[in-house]
Amino acid sequence: DAGITQSPRHKVTETGTPVTLRCHQTENHRYMYWYRQDPGHGLRLIHYSYGVKDTDKGEVSDGYSVSRSKTEDFLLTLESATSSQTSVYFCAISEEAGKGYTFGSGTRLTVV
């Protein structure tokens, strides 16, 4: 999607290993979000950021941490991956709070 990229697109990792997913935007939007999408659950918010070094937890934040050291990058880290974190992870950006989001193409993470 234009203006927002996620990397990697696919990753397989072993239980207990740390994993970092990257979201990069070129839109200079203030708000950035990490969601996970699982069958039967829809999209659930993990963490979000409302500015550089300003982050807050979402509804499923346990086992995840985030960092935003510059406007364009929002990193999601799984400190010690578990099989329950196998999911598709989406990053989204928004110019203003409550406005429409632009989503990345997602990262499919498999924890074995």
Partner 1 sequence: SQQGEEDPQALSIQEGENATMNCSYKTSINNLQWYRQNSGRGLVHLILIRSNEREKHSGRLRVTLDTSKKSSSLLITASRAADTASYFCATAFNSKLTFGKGITLSVRP
Chain residues that interact with partner 1, rule: CB under 8 A: 1, 31, 33, 35, 40-45, 48, 50, 58-59, 90, 92, 97-106
Residue 20 CA, distance from chain mean position: 9
Q: How far is the CB of 89 from partner 1 (least distance, A)?
A: 11
Q: How far is the CB of 94 from partner 1 (least distance, A)?
A: 8
In the complex with partner 1, the residue whose CB is nearer, 17 or 28, is 28
Q: How far is the CB of 111 from partner 1 (least distance, A)?
A: 20
User: How many CB atoms are closer than 10 A to CB 101?
Assistant: 17
d(CA 99, CA 65): 24
Q: Using alpha carbons only, what angle is made at residue 42 by residues 57 and 91, rounded to the nearest 5 degrees?
A: 50
